[in-house]
Structure 1
Amino acid sequence: MLFFESDYIGEVGLSNLKLYRYASVDKSPISKYILKPYLDLVIEPFPLWMAPNLITLCGFGFILINLTCVIIFIPDLVGPGAAWLYFSFALGLWLYSTFDNIDGRQARRTGTSSPLGELFDHGCDALNCSLGAIVQSAAMGLGHSWYSAFLLVLTTAPFYISTWEEYQTGVLYLGYVNGPTEGLITACIVMIISGILGPGFWKTDLHEFFGSKAPDFVQGYTLTDLMFAFITTMVLTCLLPASFYNVYQACRRQERSFLATLPQHLSFAVYAVSGYLWLSSPYSSILEDQHFILFALTTGIVFGRMATKIILAHVTKTPFPMFTVQLIPLLVGAILANVPIVFHIDPILTPKIEYYYLLSYFVFVLIAYIYWAVIVIRQFCSYLKIRCLHIPHRQPESEDDEAEIS
């Protein structure tokens, strides 16, 4: 027992791993007609001794490199930085996506598909929601602002809903327009444009951009506002309704109550509302003192824990995880930041105290996440008799096998 949560998978959950079957649906035309041939070609140079999870981890490393470049060269998330930075962001994100998509192909090539692969893959994807949002904020010059905070929500909310959908239906469903395909390509294009025209391009007034043909109501809005309006519209009209509809249909087929699944969004509601209340408090200095990167990293790890626990419950066929103790410091931070407003007292979180509280929170969730991940991976590997980042060399059992290997 660590941090008031059980970090070990029970025997029932481990025994359910033998029932695991991966199922996915991808209806994106871009994925089918463009990415599939590309990925089939890209997978060929990868050696058969390279474990699928190692490919996933290497892909995630490109995102960490992007994040490191942001922290070193564009810590204010405004810039402008050198043009090569924005091109490298696009390249790193594209390579991450490529590696993220070929790990499954590698698993099939090597006969090493396992529930650990899905858990490892989606765990990295969950962490990338926040890390990618930080890099995207820097690419668009959003700064430590509400734009960056809203972008964090726009990346985490759809992922959480999609993960919940997979838990309820047993299928990872990607629609005709989805985040991992069209969303990622859009993000890469935005980064490339920033490399060519600079991040200040996104601050261009719409009336100026479209000229005399622009309607009067766009006066005062920028290309950034247009981009956010587009992304929000796609999430609210395409991604979320499809997920809820698929879960509703699954509940009907299985004669379960759809309404009974809705409380499972409580943890994300606490996550989003607590983050908003903390940042919006007039006594919070996170945005003003440019600590949003630290805030996003901290809450991003918390989100990674929430989403990965759902995937863990999915592959082990155990009850839906309703809460994580790592949300408690976030809720406490929101309360401390707003207590002076309610009770008309002096601020509890002075800028210095708030910073050290947030830093301590980051250290806590980072250690807790790594500890938990190591335990879960070890349990999977022990029960399934596999290695996480290594494919054991198989000794030929016959002359035919030896000929096949050579």
Structure 2
Amino acid sequence: MVLGRFTSGSTYVSEQGLENLKLYRYQSVDLSWTTHYVLRHYWNWCVTLFPRWMAPNLITLVGFGFVVGNLALFLYYTPDLTGPAPAWLYFSAALGMWLYSTFDNVDGKQARRTGTSSPLGELFDHGCDALNCSLGGLLQAAGMGLGHSWYSVGIIFCTSLTFYLSTWEEYHTKVLFLGIINGPTEGLILACVLMALSGVYGPQIYFENAHASFGSWLAPVVPPHYRVIDCLIVLLFLGVVLAHAPYCLTAVHRVCVRDRKSYTLALAELLPMALFLSCAYLWLASPDSYIFTHQHLALFIITVGIAFGRIATKIILAHVTLSPFPWFTVQMIPVILGAALTNLPRWLGQAPLLTPHSEHTFLWACFVFASVAYVHWALFVIDRFCTYLGIRCLTIPQAPSAKSK
């Protein structure tokens, strides 16, 4: 059985978009030495452990479940995101993130192995990756004991921005490109190592003085008051600004020049993400917001993360259906509204509109709205794909003939 039959699915995927699925060709380039010399052999072995009846999308979903499950445990044991939590939980989080990465790379191999490759596979895979930018980032923050702080926000903002840029680049170049050092490979390995170190030494190690931890050789480049976490955040930020973003910008520029398209218009497609991040920042930074002081950051991150998941996945949907770039999603409205409610009164010289209780209630309402809207949209799109392609999302009804992606 396909995930239900929804006649209004055409609202999200046009008939022409479905027709364009015939032109779909998955293309990717991974220059990582870690992948080439080590991990590809590991993934080729791992895929043999999965039964042939297990659908690739189910592998993706189970892998994402490791992240969600460990995050739920952290929110139970350390709702302040600081801890310390039981040592086993940090190792569980590191293992869960590693299994997520493994399953995320094995699903495509399983698709080719079982002859079930389809455009839905890329959409489903990258859709889970988009959600993982926030949920996995929140798990990372909890695993390092960063608490309800700007450190946690910084990790999630940087992760989301890099994913958006890569998705925007793929929309224009039609190729998923991963560099010699990239987030899905080396970045996830580092994330696993950092959480495992929290299990060995405790998360407080990231708040120790960097010079005391690593030695005086840091003196020429690191301020004396910097802690370990400060160095990690700066390195993450520099990686985005000096490496990842410039490559994405130049790659899209080359394609626009080659195809004689407007690079200015392509750059304008970054504005939705700029608006989204700006509103999220303004909401958090407002003196009339209580998200940090009353420890509501986890709920905030999950809510805006769901909204970001739809923003990014709509670009992937446009990519596989050769549709126009999606400029807006309704799930951006709560973030924009939250920024307005917490800042406009102060800017206009009026009394705050929100109290700690009313902001918390509003945040829960935003979460419910974002979740329902996301699930509604996802089921409609999945059903449209399954109906048109004659496939199932989470099961393999029969052994299909072998075919390549």
Which interval holds the TM-score relative to the shorter structure?
A: over 0.9
Matched, 1:378 2:370: no
Residue 302 (structure 2) aligned to one of 297, 300, 314: 297
2:262 — aligned with what?
A: 257
1:96 — aligned with what?
A: 100
Q: Which has the higher contact order (CA 8 A, sep 6+)?
A: 2
Distance 1:335 1:90 in 2: 38
1:247 — aligned with what?
A: 252
TM-score between the two structures when normalised by the length of structure 1? 0.94
Matched, 1:353 2:358: yes
**Residues matched between the structures, number:** 394
Contact residue 43 and residue 102 of structure 2 kept, 8 A: yes
Query: How far has the Cα of 1:325 moved from its partner?
Result: 1.4
Matched, 1:222 2:197: no
1:160 — aligned with what?
A: 164
Q: Residue type matched to 1:184 in 2?
A: L
Query: How far has the Cα of 1:9 moved from its partner?
Result: 1.1
Distance of aligned partners of 1:300 and 1:6 in 2 relative to their CA distance in 1, 3 Å threshold = farther
Matched, 1:75 2:86: no
1:247-326 alignment, distance < 5 Å: 247-326=252-331
Distance 1:242 1:176 in 2: 12
Query: How far has the Cα of 1:336 moved from its partner?
Result: 0.9
Matched, 1:22 2:31: no
Distance of aligned partners of 1:125 and 1:212 in 2 relative to their CA distance in 1, 3 Å threshold = closer
Distance 1:394 1:326 in 2: 39
1:106-145 alignment, distance < 5 Å: 106-145=110-149
| 3-state secondary structure, aligned to 1:207 | helix
State the Cα deviation string for residues 82-124 of structure 1 (Å, max 9, x = none). Answer: 1111100100000000000010000001111000000000000
Query: How far has the Cα of 1:340 moved from its partner?
Result: 2.5
Q: Residue type matched to 1:292 in 2?
A: L
Q: Residue type matched to 1:81 in 2?
A: A
Distance 2:129 2:59 in 1: 13
| 3-state secondary structure, aligned to 1:173 | strand
Query: How far has the Cα of 1:210 moved from its partner?
Result: 3.4
Distance 1:57 1:213 in 2: 45
Distance 2:218 2:309 in 1: 41
- With 301-310 and 143-152 compared, the bigger mean Cα shift is at 143-152
1:31 — aligned with what?
A: 35
State the Cα deviation string for residues 161-200 of structure 1 (Å, max 9, x = none). Answer: 0000000000000011111001101101101111111000
2:69 — aligned with what?
A: 65
Distance of aligned partners of 1:6 and 1:291 in 2 relative to their CA distance in 1, 3 Å threshold = farther
State the Cα deviation string for residues 278-334 of structure 1 (Å, max 9, x = none). Answer: 111101000110000000000000000000000000000000000111111211110
Distance 2:262 2:67 in 1: 39
Distance 1:286 1:212 in 2: 38
State the Cα deviation string for residues 211-240 of structure 1 (Å, max 9, x = none). Answer: 444428622110000111111111122211
Residue 198 (structure 1) aligned to one of 193, 199, 202: 202
Distance 1:198 1:52 in 2: 36
Q: Residue type matched to 1:143 in 2?
A: G
Distance of aligned partners of 1:228 and 1:394 in 2 relative to their CA distance in 1, 3 Å threshold = closer
Q: Residue type matched to 1:283 in 2?
A: D
Distance 1:240 1:212 in 2: 32
Contact residue 177 and residue 238 of structure 1 kept, 8 A: no
2:345 — aligned with what?
A: 340
Contact residue 74 and residue 85 of structure 2 kept, 8 A: no
Contact residue 7 and residue 376 of structure 1 kept, 8 A: no
1:404 — aligned with what?
A: none
Residue 178 (structure 2) aligned to one of 162, 174, 182: 174
Matched, 1:146 2:135: no
Distance 1:74 1:7 in 2: 41
1:185 — aligned with what?
A: 189
Contact residue 329 and residue 361 of structure 1 kept, 8 A: yes
| 3-state secondary structure, aligned to 2:246 | helix
RMSD: 1.7
Contact residue 26 and residue 173 of structure 1 kept, 8 A: yes
- With 360-369 and 64-73 compared, the bigger mean Cα shift is at 64-73
Residue 213 (structure 2) aligned to one of 191, 194, 209: 209
Distance of aligned partners of 1:395 and 1:335 in 2 relative to their CA distance in 1, 3 Å threshold = closer
Q: Residue type matched to 1:380 in 2?
A: F
Q: Residue type matched to 2:60 in 1?
A: T
Q: Residue type matched to 1:345 in 2?
A: Q
Q: Residue type matched to 2:15 in 1?
A: E
Distance 1:262 1:320 in 2: 12
Which ranges in structure 2 are unaligned for 5 or more consecutive residues?
A: 1-5
Q: Residue type matched to 2:286 in 1?
A: S
State the Cα deviation string for residues 371-393 of structure 1 (Å, max 9, x = none). Answer: 11001000000000000011112
Query: How far has the Cα of 1:46 moved from its partner?
Result: 0.8
The share of aligned pairs that are identical, in percent, is: 53
2:3 — aligned with what?
A: none
Distance of aligned partners of 1:190 and 1:395 in 2 relative to their CA distance in 1, 3 Å threshold = closer
